[in-house]
Homo-oligomer: A and B are copies of this chain.
Amino acid sequence: MAEPPDSPRPIALDGLGTDARPGPEIDAAIAAAAAGLSVELVGDRARLAPLLERRLDELGQREHAGAIHLVDAAEEIAMDESPARAVRAKPEASLCRAIDRVEIGAAGAMVSAGNSGAVLAAALFRLGRLPGIERPAIVANLPQLSVAPASGGVGADAVLLDAGANVECSALNLVQFAVLGATWSRAWHRVERPRVAILSNGHEPSKGTPATREAHRALTEHGQALGSAASSGFEFLGYIEANALFAGHCDVIVTDGWTGNVALKLAEGAMAAWPRMLAGALAGSSSSGGADAITSALAPALRKLGARLDPDTHGGAPLLGVDGPVILCHGAAGPEALHAALQMAHRFAEQGVFEALQRAVAEHRELFELVRRPR
């Protein structure tokens, strides 16, 4: 990636990513422009231009038209296309062109709600990885309990990575995710010395898989080499079991993308099923009178909790380890979620977060060399 210029660069927004494309993208670009950001809306100009003009008028935001720049892209990648193949076959696809804008330094970051495998592939092929990083990871948030008196029981979110970019991961991948995740936690969530743990099937270092055991060993040795007082940037806690993922014990949870995907989707499914099961249990209990009243009284709190697990609330999921700021959104993301993602991308690119990742990766070369390759 080219050196950042002095003034904030625009954010490249894939104009054809969401399921309802390009409506949500256009409205998000207008909202971001009204909030002071500069946006490059990337997609078929003949299709996007008239819609953008119409919405600027409908929303009474004509004054912000100058902050939205259309970047033409002749092709589109569908959700069900094979990611690597589509990215190779369609260099002019909107998500590829949006990545290109970051690669040439014209945009500071990119946001896409399109085929996330294709965004990942395009980022790998076109931006490349941070020097020394083997694989990038997707970051997700997990709400945490807190025992702090003023917290109302709810603490700051922890980050979990990889949330799904890599089905299988090596020990080196996991160790690098620990560094990337800790850096994100510090730069984004302002956790001074993040507590990092590897998800496993037990606490003892003998548990886990060959990859988690080797990652555990390298991170433990690294911590000992630095001494407990040294500021290595993060504290390695060892293994964490899945039943403690919401317990507020750590700030960064490291796992492979398969397990991360299962963990996040299961949390989502449990949050959705739980209130309905609870309502069923209430209706079936002897004191069933107030079941309806209780469940409707709970509704606002339920929505609040559900929102904390929804990546769109957080503005999307950052992709860490590629050589430029990239944010992934759900295909179902609406204008508010995309606008939040554009704000996240702006902060990612312009407020030292990406530079912190570059620095952390360079500073942890020795740790990465501690990791033994599998036989």
Write the nearest CB–CB distance from A292 to chain B, whole angstroms.
12
What band does the interface of chain A fall in when counting residues whose beta carbon is under 8 Å from B?
Answer: 35 or more
Taken residue by residue from 261 to 285, chain A's Cβ proximity to chain B (1 for < 8 Å, 0 otherwise) reads as 1111111111111101111111111
Closest to A266 in B: B242
A305 interface residue (CB < 8 Å to B): yes
Q: Are B274 and A274 in contact (CB under 8 A)?
A: yes
Whether, in the assembled complex, A35 has its beta carbon less than 8 Å from a beta carbon of chain B, the answer is: no
Cα distance A245–B267 when bound, in Å?
Answer: 10
Q: Report if A247 contacts B (CB, 8 A).
A: yes
* Complex Cα gap A78–B279 (Å): 42
Q: Cβ of A164 and Cβ of B201 under 8 Å apart?
A: yes
Given A153-B276, A201-B258, A258-B209, A269–B281 Cβ distance below 8 Å?
Answer: no
Copies of this chain, complex-wide, total: 2
Pick the residue among B154, B243, B262, B280 that contacts A199 (CB under 8 A).
B262
**Which of these, B145, B204, B269, B294, contacts A243 with CB under 8 Å?**
B269
Do B281 and A301 touch across chains, with their CB atoms under 8 A apart?
A: yes
Contact A152 B283, CB 8 Å, known A243-B265, A259-B262 = yes
- In-complex Cβ contact of A270 among B259, B267, B284 (8 A): B267
Determine if A242 and B258 form an interchain contact, defined as CB atoms under 8 angstroms apart.
no
Q: Check if B301 sits within 8 Å of A282, measured CB to CB.
A: yes
Chain A 155-199 interface mask (CB, 8 Å, partner B; 1/0): 000000000100110000000000000000000000000000001
List 24 A-B residue pairs with CB atoms under 8 Å apart, sorted by A's residue number.
A80-B204, A82-B206, A145-B273, A153-B277, A167-B201, A167-B209, A201-B261, A242-B263, A242-B264, A243-B265, A245-B269, A246-B274, A263-B266, A270-B270, A270-B274, A271-B274, A274-B274, A274-B305, A278-B301, A278-B302, A281-B300, A281-B305, A282-B298, A285-B300
